Amino acid sequence: MKYLKYIYLLFLFPIQLFGASGEMSNHSPHLDGSILTIYWVIPFAGILLSIAIFPLVAPNFWHKNFGKVSLFWAISLLIPLLFSQYIGFNVTLYEVLHVGLLEYVPFIILLLALFTISGGVRLKGSLVGKPIVNVSIILIGTLLASWMGTTGAAMLLIRPIIRANQERKYKVHTIVFFIFLVANIGGSLTPLGDPPLFLGFLKGVSFFWTTSAMFLPMLMVVCYLIIVYFLIDSYLYKKEDISAIENNDNTNAEKLSLDGSFNLLLLLGVIGSVLLSGFWKPHIHFSIYHVHVELQNLTRDILLLLLTYLSWQQTPQSIRKKNEYTWFPIVEVAKLFAGIFITIIPAIAILKAGDKGALATIIQSVSNESGPVNFMYFWLTGILSSFLDNAPTYLVFFNTAGGDPTLLMNDNYNTLLAISAGAVFMGANTYIGNAPNFMVKSISESSGIEMPSFFGYLVKYSLPILLPIFIIVSLVFF
């Protein structure tokens, strides 16, 4: 009889998919995090460990099979969910559709648009990786990231900075600091910069609240990182064959110019499409098995796909060839984050259960009798954003803090600031903290740069460089 239930549900799937009548249409079959033990997080931990270990111990296997590994961990969660007595088909289907339609698909479409369009712009000219040149490129990318997204800015400038340093022996540190600043910290000033801030904007946080509130913390972090980077790069530059680098500069002297500038207009279109979904509220939605897809978000995604198509069709392939453009980075991100978004479902449900969930200690630590503990909000949001996706982590702590944007922007100003800063800043801690991190790593490796492993990045760069800076930020602001 148990299996007849699944056959019956599968038979009715087409009807259920686009809205069922009766009780089910009024009550979404949510996953109750309070009934989940910590063991449900094992598949998520498994995919994180796979990303960390396989490239180090079995790089060839990983390069060919990362999609299968991601699928394995997704299935290892979905099968127990389907056959659990307390969860079953309805809840599993709803949660997968919910995370897929409302988070994963829009996430990938935005990344695809920014990746394709920015990959059609080529900065020409004889850029040479001297410390001042590298600092300038990273600073420009940091400034652009808040307005064209960390993905857009990173994809626009990663290839120029790789070309500028092609004659240098020591260049891994430059890519790492590029990830720190352009792919993460630079997205602090607007909801366009980083997905968690955009989610806050959709929840009612003022567009310019983010700009004013995040300016000083971002400025402090950027100043520290730029100074540290300049000192490191200047030291390593002296160990290079400087004469060969300068001779190459003189031999290949070329004025700076842009190819594919048409794509800059398309990037403005991306910004406009994202803003449209935030400001336009037609109050029309389409229900797909209790998941409400709002018209403004569907419109945004269609516009982004059209802009992507225009870029691909109108940009000469010679520009992309010179940019060493391949689909591999976006394919890698799409496959790995599909597994991450699915396996993260129980972790987010447990966190949403608050003090009734298996992670109650974490939730209880952010508040006491006198009110919210902003120091803990900053660190817990940040640490979880380093290993979970920072967008849903932001939402969890946004709701834990009350979920009222007016109250958070005013009376609990520092609480919202702590959540926002933790989510954006600490996305730089690992390759999976923010999607552009992985894309930059993949592009750099395809260009012959031996990037550090997951643990190598964390131990050699994040902990010794970022951790002290974040401690100072937390002491000053929270």
Residue with structure tokens 């490796």? 445
Residues 6+ positions from 14 with CB-CB distance below 8 Å: none
φ/ψ (deg, to 5) at 285? -140, 160
The predicted structure's pLDDT at residue 10? 42
Residue 351, token pair as written in the block: 């966190």
Token pair listed for 263: 């794509």
User: Would you mind telling me the total number of residues written for the chain in this entry?
Assistant: 478
Share of the chain above pLDDT 90, in %: 29
3-state secondary structure 386-450: HHCCHHHHHHHHHHHCCCCHHHHHCCCHHHHHHHHHHHHHHHHHCCCCCHHHHHHHHHHHHCCCC
Longest dimension (CA), the chain: 79
Using one digit for the tens of pLDDT, what is the confidence trace for 291-312? 888 888 899 999 999 999 999 9
Q: Give the model confidence (pLDDT) of 163-218 as tens digits.
A: 888 888 888 999 999 999 999 999 999 887 887 887 788 777 888 899 999 999 99
Question: And the tokens for 468?
Answer: 């002290």
Which whole number is the average pLDDT over 241-266? Answer: 70
Residue 57: CB partners within 8 Å, gap ≥ 6?
none
Specify the pLDDT at position 352.
77
Q: Which helix (H) or strand (E) holds 287?
A: strand 285-288
Whether the Cβ atoms of residue 439 and residue 116 lie closer than 8 Å to each other: no
**179 and 139 in contact (C-beta within 8 Å)?**
no
58-67, 319-328, 355-364: least confident range: 355-364
pLDDT in tens, 379-410: 989 988 887 667 767 877 887 787 788 999 99
C-alpha–C-alpha distance, residues 381 and 422, integer Å: 5
